[in-house]
Copies of this chain bind each other. A is one copy, B any other.
Amino acid sequence: VSSHQPLGPGREFDAVRALVLQWGSRATGIGDDAALVDVPDGERLVVSTDTSVEFVHFRREWLSAAEIGWRATTAALSDLAAMGARPLAVLTALVVPDGWRGELGAIGDGIAAAVEAASTHIVGGDLSTGSELSLCVTVLGSSKSPLTRGGARPGESLWVTGALGGPATALRSLLDGTTPAAAARGRFAHPSARVREALWLAARGATAAIDISDGLIADARHMAAASGVALAVSLDNVPRFGECNPADAASSGEEYELLIAGPGMDCVAFTREFGLALTRIGEVGPAEGAPGVIVTSGGARVEFTGGYDHFSA
């Protein structure tokens, strides 16, 4: 179904044409004022937009151009995972400074690889100049019954996918000017959007989900606020990447794992299916608690700060 509209002349459109050619069957129906997408009957449209900005979300010396494209696209797709939605389409609005123009093909490769990993297609976008590289990725998905942040109910368990702290570990090295270990760097440079995992969990009764791109506890606070419940998280149970300490694991941003509320889950079956841990890290409640997150370690309550805030300082 890759029926593109022929584009008119011009260098900007030459650049679009080159990207579309390179994307092959990963791009469909490019070239009109807007893209057409069909939402399956009886499903709701789920849509999110997410921007990755040079110097804010990444630096050129940290990542290859393909990794920049992959990460930006995966970060956006992760929002569909957090809603338990199946991806339908991706749009990419790129601001490309002159000094990055030679890397556009490699950025496009990374975008296409992330789109392919999520079994979806690029249906449109926008290309502009500017003084810093910026990738605004819009993702469309659909679901019969989307998972919101607001569905957690007292008595349920809290689950997290994967192991946390890899991106924070890698970022610390990068900011210090040292070379991160390959595994930690991979967690930062090449995250996965947990789309299939979310569908599996939703099918087994998950009631609420959020991706933890701002850090586990910071994002748990959003789930608590949206659900109007207290969430109790045991730091001792937070699954940690490598040697990462529990507090760093629980505050590490740039994670694209999922925090889920729901009933008992078969963690062994989950790991067999996805090769990924699923860990119970706490519970929803008590019912009378004010909305918020209660963090414990060794059975005692601890104060917890951390998580990323774009407008802080």
Q: Which residues of A contact B (CB under 8 A)?
A: 5-15, 31-39, 41, 44-51, 53, 55-57, 78-80, 82-83, 85, 89, 91-93, 95, 101, 123-132, 134, 136, 138-141, 146, 148-150, 209-211, 218-219, 221-222, 224-226, 228, 291, 307, 309-312
Contacts and interface: CB of A to CB of B under 8 A. Distances in A.
A298 B8 CA distance: 26
- Which 5 A-B pairs give the minimum distances between C-beta atoms? A136-B136, A34-B48, A8-B221, A33-B82, A11-B311
Contacts of A82: 32-34
B31 A35 contact: no
Contacts of A12: 309-312
A37 B44 contact: yes
Given A49-B49, A132-B132, 17 more contacts: A6-B225, A11-B311, A31-B149, A32-B149, A32-B150, A32-B226, A33-B210, A34-B82, A37-B46, A45-B45, A47-B89, A47-B91, A47-B138, A51-B128, A51-B136, A93-B136, A127-B311
Given A36-B45, A44-B36, A146-B36, A126 B51 contact: yes
22 contacts: A8-B219, A10-B309, A10-B312, A12-B311, A32-B82, A32-B226, A33-B149, A33-B211, A34-B82, A35-B48, A36-B44, A36-B146, A37-B45, A39-B39, A48-B124, A49-B126, A49-B138, A53-B130, A55-B130, A129-B311, A131-B131, A136-B136
A57 B128 contact: yes
Q: Which among A9, A33, A56, A93 has the highest number of chain B CB atoms within 10 Å?
A: A33
A13 B7 CA distance: 41
B47 A311 contact: no
Contacts of A222: 5, 7-8, 31
A47 to B, nearest CB: 5
What secondary structure prevails in chain A residues at the interface with B? mixed
A138 B148 CA distance: 21
A92 B138 CA distance: 10
Nearest to A94: B51
Given A8-B221, A128-B51, A128-B310, A85 B34 contact: yes
B130 A33 contact: no
Nearest to A47: B35
A262 to B, nearest CB: 16
Contacts of A50: 93, 126
Contacts of A11: 309-312
Contacts of A78: 33
A131 B225 contact: no
Nearest to A258: B33
A125 B123 CA distance: 19
